[in-house]
Amino acid sequence: MKGRKIQCGQTRQCSVYMGYRYINRYALLCFIIFSFWWIIFRCKNNNCEDCQRIISKDESIGSYDIPNIVHFITCQGDASETVLDELGPRLGYRRMERAPDEFQLINYLVLLSARNKIKPDQLYVHYSFEPTGYWWTKAKQDLELNLTLNKIPSITSIYNHPLYHHAHRTDIARLEILDKYGGIYLDLDVLSLKSFSSLTSNPHHVEAIFAWERKKFNTICNAVIIAPIHSKFLRRIYHSYQSFNSSCWGCHSVGLTGQLANIYKNEVHVLPSKAFFTPSWFNIEELYLYNRYNFKNNYASHLWNAYIGKTFLYNLTLNSILNPKTKTTLIRMITHAKFVHFFLLLLLLLSQINRRNRASTQKNIEIALTREAQEPRNSAADPFTRRRCAPMLVTQTPLIHSAEDLKRETERREAQTKKKNEEQRSTNEKNKLLITKDTTTKITTHNRTDKPHTEKSFTMTTGERGSFTSFSEHSDEMFASHDFELDLNIKLFPD
């Protein structure tokens, strides 16, 4: 009896335990089904940008042919300063800066060097927000460059990881663009120095071509990428962004790319750093301060804008290239191509002529205005009216600084008034004599009564003085000041 009770109790405990175990399995199965349903529903019905934009995971191998196309990317935008301060990437101790909206001279020279050295079939510039500035307008209108502009949607996330900085957004954009078009991607601070034809022929039959940034640390810089369409290796890099960290500057684009290159060695060909990235950022003085680096083995040179842009590249001018105080490796690289030298020489000549003309015009205006200001009788006139070339009668405004000046001015005015009165009296007497001589009597006959009608006339002389300023586009002086004197003889007849 006792043994049966124990056996029954064990049976109940086993049945309860089995029930809980199946419940857990059912709950786990329901959770998995719900998760799959949520992912599908969100992607199809909520217009998930990541799901539409992410490159297909198709592992099929395409052609190894690399199109002769060059791609540049600019103006991807940044998050706000507050967000970048808190969550943005950092390089060492400093936070990475936002990208400037203005297209710089160095960016224009980079486009020119790519067009003339690589000679691509198409030269693409992809952007989300159109750049501004003189050099962007010049690049668009340059028939030699023959740019193909492509506006792309702004990329703000990858695998639901937010992208705050323009550099990280560009990292994703270049992978997507090369997957679609293939060809050569260059940063806008990579100066092309010779043809890429030996690289685009892809003699090693690989999925991508890079160069080491620092072989010692297995880091690859993505400022230059050469790849065919649907590159298998670039898709591996793209899918690695599932573990992206927005606060790290180059963890994926530099560090993880180097690790993948060591793992999939048969898919990628990595050139030595001197192909694109020498002089490097850690001895950047060789590029900007000294003139001793031999770049004959460089296909291109990365100028490291993120490190040194504000100090050197943004302050680069035509004059500093053609007439440098100190010739450096960078200046020698730019003038290495004669087309750049002649082009810059022409631009510098035109800019100097325009500057001299503007300075001459400004000087003439200042001289004319100074001359007007120095004329006392013009000081009371309205300069706005005179510059409309309308004659304006003006009076002499005295300079009164003390009581003695006021007394002297009062006496002068009284004397002037007395003199005018005497002149007016003498004029009136002369006019009376003239009126007596010029008086004519005319008799008119009417129907009712005949009355003699006497018609008198007299002459009055008046004088006016003034000055005005005229505007001329054809003379050396834009503004010219003129004085005028008018003596009017007026003959008056009564009504």
| Residue 490: pLDDT band with limits 50, 70, 90 | low
Q: Name the more confident of 445 and 11.
A: 11
317 pLDDT band, cuts 50/70/90, is confident
Q: CA 269, CA 291: separation in Å to the nearest integer?
A: 31
Q: State the pLDDT at residue 3.
A: 45
User: How far is it, in rounded angstroms, from Cα 279 to Cα 256?
Assistant: 23
CATH 3.30.1920 assigned to 69-86+94-285+298-304: no
Provide the b/e sequence for 24-54 (b: ≥16 CB within 10 Å): eeeeeeeeeeeeeeeeeeeeeeeebeeeeeb
Angle at 400 between CA 396 and CA 406, to 5 degrees: 105
> Is 197 a residue whose pLDDT tops 90?
yes
Beta strands of 108-231 (E only): which ranges? 122-127, 147-151, 157-158, 161-162, 183-186, 190-192, 208-214, 219-220, 224-227
Domain ranges of the chain: 69-86+94-285+298-304
Reported as a pLDDT band with limits 50, 70 and 90, residue 481 is low
pLDDT in tens, 264-276: 999 999 999 999 9
Give pTM, 2 decimals.
0.62
Q: How far apart are CA 122 and CA 146, in angstroms?
A: 8
Q: Taking 80 as the threshold, does the pLDDT of residue 232 lie above it?
A: yes
* Amino acid letter, residue 329: T
pLDDT digits (tens, 9 = 90+) for 392-427: 444 444 555 566 776 777 788 788 888 888 888 888
The alpha helices in 379-460, defined as continuous H runs, are 383-386, 403-438
Question: CA 446 to CA 184: how far, in whole Å?
Answer: 109
Split at pLDDT 50, 70, 90, the class of 315 is: confident
Q: CA 122 to CA 378: how far, in whole Å?
A: 64
- pLDDT value at 483 more than 60: yes
Distance of alpha carbon 430 from alpha carbon 260, whole angstroms: 114
Whether 281 contacts 196, CB under 8 Å: no
Q: What is the pLDDT of residue 384?
A: 46
Question: Could you tell me the pLDDT band of residue 32, with boundaries at 50, 70 and 90?
Answer: confident
The 10s digit of each residue's pLDDT in 12-22 is 555 555 555 66
CA distance 295 to 191: 12
pLDDT digits (tens, 9 = 90+) for 156-166: 999 999 999 99
